[in-house]
Amino acid sequence: MTSDEQLPIISMREYIERVLDERDRLYGAKFIASEVAVSAALIAQKTSVDAALVAADRAVAKADIANEKRFDAVNEFRGQLNDQAKTFMPRTETTALIKSIDDKVSLSHINFDAKLEGIRASFEKSLDNLGKEIAGLRESRSESSGSKAGGKELWGYLVALAGIALAIIFHFVK
């Protein structure tokens, strides 16, 4: 600064008031800027929260639809189980039926054993009769074979006797 220029002399009080006024003005501007920034942030946050709520509502709606479908499937399955339960035979009825079948099988087994025993006895009797008939046939065969052998010997003797008689006749006739 040159000496030619003269600065206005002001009092300390005026200086401090000017500085304070300047600072108030700057702080006011900063406050207004921060209010604008906060408002903008709040608006942006509100917009994003609204978008998130809309998305959440859509997700909840989809989940509700999916739950309804699942519950429909569960109800259909319950209906099938009820239909099955109606067509199934009760345990007491089943037990009685099985006992009846067991009794019939046991009775059939007893009857089969009795018939089998009768057939076995009849077979043994027939086998004994066949054995007796075979023994009779053997005796008959041995008797027959003895008489055939005797018949053959008789013929042999007769032929021999006839041969001797012829020999004697030819011996004297010559």
- Own/partner contacts of 28-37, CB < 8 Å, gap of 24 or more, are none
Q: How far is CA 71 from each of CA 22, 52, 64, 85, 113, rounded to the nearest angstrom?
A: 71, 28, 10, 20, 60
Q: Give the CA angle between residues 105, 106, 107 to the nearest 5°.
A: 90
Domain contains 130: no
Q: What is the pLDDT of residues 67-94, one digit of tens each?
A: 988 888 888 888 888 888 888 878 888 8
- pLDDT, position 133: 78
Domain contains 98: no
Domain contains 45: yes
Q: Is residue 2 pLDDT above 80, yes or no?
A: no
Residue 53: how many other CB atoms lie within 10 Å = 10
List strand residue ranges (DSSP E) for the chain, in order: none
Q: What is the pLDDT of residues 91-106, one digit of tens each?
A: 888 898 899 999 989 9
How many domains are there within the chain?
1
Q: Which two tokens stand for residue 88?
A: 């199934």
pTM of the model as a whole? 0.34
Query: Phi and psi of 7, rounded to 5°?
Result: -90, 140
Residue 50's domain comprises: 10-88
CA atoms of 171 and 174, how far apart (whole Å): 6
Domain contains 80: yes
Q: Average the pLDDT over 15-40 and give the result.
A: 92
**Nearby residues of 10 by Cβ (< 8 Å), 6 or more positions away:** 18
Domain contains 171: no
Q: Report the length, in residues, of the chain.
A: 174
Domain contains 95: no
